[in-house]
């Protein structure tokens, strides 16, 4: 597992201390993927109801609060596949 993924799992776990009500996948281009579900946050590549894909800088910015997930999506820096409603819930949790 890459250091980027390890750090992202830690930061996402802080933002989602009780996991996520559904199954979401965060794909960090060139690094790997993270799953958030009712069991918590972990590195993994499971099937998910929503997948968010971004480069490392965009993902780091979203976790730190420097990048608004909605703006990243509008600018094409964040791609969403699956449930837009769940993506919006994640965006609110990350903000």
Domains of the chain: 3-82 (3.30.1050.10)
Q: What is the pTM of this model?
A: 0.92
DSSP per residue, 21-74: SS-EEEEETTTEEEEEETTEEEE-----SEEEEE-HHHHHHHHHTSS-HHHHHH
Q: What is the pLDDT, as a whole number, of residue 94? A: 78
User: One digit per residue, pLDDT tens: the chain, 95 residues?
Assistant: 689 999 999 999 999 999 999 999 999 999 999 999 999 999 999 999 999 999 999 999 998 999 999 999 999 999 999 999 999 998 888 77
d(CA 28, CA 59) in angstroms, rounded, equals 7
């Amino acid at each position: 597992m890459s250091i980027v993924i390890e750090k992202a799992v830690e930061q996402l776990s802080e933002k989602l201390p009780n996991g996520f009500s559904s199954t979401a996948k965060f794909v960090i281009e060139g690094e790997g993927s993270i799953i958030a579900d009712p069991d918590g946050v972990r590195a993994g590549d499971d099937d998910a109801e929503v997948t968010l894909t971004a480069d490392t800088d965009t993902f780091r910015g979203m976790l730190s609060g420097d990048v608004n997930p909605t703006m990243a999506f509008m600018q094409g820096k964040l791609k969403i596949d699956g449930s837009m409603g769940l993506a919006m819930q994640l965006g609110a949790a990350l903000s």
